[in-house]
Structure 1
Amino acid sequence: MTLNPAIIGDNAFAPGVTAATYVPDQLIAGRFPLTTDTVTLAAGQNLPRGAVLGVITATGKFRLSAAASTDGSQTPAAILVDGVNATNGDTLAGVYLTGEFNQRAVIFGAGHSVSSTKEALRLREIFLRSSVSAADPS
């Protein structure tokens, strides 16, 4: 990471001091309690934060929920907390089991959309909300 002394001041090159710019992704959309858990993400996936996951009935492993799946994962069950690369094998991953999420920031699998998943997620206390921007004061 390249540090910009103009942004972080005189401590830019002090030992043990690092700086990074925080850029919120707007995934969380409200104050409904967030409940998390650690699950096994099935091998062969590289998923971003906010991916809508389903559970494979036979194994209990999670995968990106796709509408055409017939293994149980077609039903949305959780939202991925952080991006996870499980390309080379099953990987533990954090998921949100409840909460309010910005419907523009969640990632849907093939055949899914806000309208096709909203009710199934609501039954699990995962609420998809439209983003609301602040009014322009001018």
Structure 2
Amino acid sequence: MLDQEGDAAADYLEELLDIVDLDGDIDIDVENGRASVAVVAEGADLAGLQRLVGRDGEVLEALQELSRLAAQARTGERSRLLLDIAGWRGQRRSTAARIAAEAVERARATGEAVELEPMPAYQRKAVHDAVADAGLRSESDGVEPNRFVVVLPD
């Protein structure tokens, strides 16, 4: 089923790239029990793909939802597909891991909870995972779109 989701999203994205006259390769994978599709390119083509990311990933989020709908239309099942374009989400995950490490260090040093800035769900997940790997606990607080992570001391 996850392969079908990825294939449906890839077909949708290939058509989109043709319409907007952008070049990019599409990689399909399965990560953490969900279909994952990445649109990648190099050089001048990479710069063109940046338009599909948009400011703060807003266009990317919209394209992810459209790709999920394309997958759902083909499979008949709700899709949790994750879309990355031009490595944007990968860079955000790296940033989230760094932020988590700094928050863990502060929580351990001060013995107090550390509240992070609001971030999207996929970044919060990356922070929660990094905090757990460091041996501490974390929780999300607040209401979307201002939901944030709190790193709890030992």
TM range (shorter): under 0.3
Answer 1 or 2: which has greater helix percent: 2
More relative contact order in 1 or in 2 (CA 8 Å, sep 6+)? 1
Question: TM-score when scaled to structure 1?
Answer: 0.25
The structure richer in strand per residue is: 1
